[in-house]
Amino acid sequence: MKKKLIVPVLTITVGVAWFLNVLEVIPGVDWVWTLGLATAGILSISIGGLNKFTVVVGPLLVVASICSLLRQTGRLVVDHEIPVLVITLGILMLISQLSPLEKPEALRMDDGDADNPRGN
* Per-residue pLDDT tens digits for 41-97: 988 988 889 999 999 999 999 999 999 999 998 999 999 999 999 999 999 999 999
Query: What is the structure's pLDDT at 61?
Result: 97
* Per-residue pLDDT tens digits for 96-120: 999 999 998 887 876 555 555 555 4
Model confidence, pTM = 0.76
Counting the structural domains of the chain, the total is 1
Q: Is the pLDDT of residue 27 over 70?
A: yes
Contact 69, 28 (CB under 8 A): no
Contact 45, 54 (CB under 8 A): yes
91 in a domain, yes or no? yes
DSSP state for residue 112 in the 8-state scheme: G
70 in a domain, yes or no? yes
84 in a domain, yes or no? yes
Query: What is the structure's pLDDT at 23?
Result: 86
Question: Which H or E run includes 84?
Answer: helix 78-98
Range of the domain at 52: 20-101
User: Which CA distances in Å does 45 have to 6, 21, 57, 75, 78?
Assistant: 11, 28, 8, 28, 27
CA 36 from chain centre, in angstroms, equals: 10
Confidence of residue 26 (pLDDT cuts 50, 70, 90): confident
Residue 70, classed as helix, strand or coil, is helix
94 in a domain, yes or no? yes
State how far the Cα of 20 lies from the Cα of 5, in Å rounded to an integer: 22
Confidence of residue 22 (pLDDT cuts 50, 70, 90): confident
State how far the Cα of 24 lies from the Cα of 73, in Å rounded to an integer: 11
74 in a domain, yes or no? yes
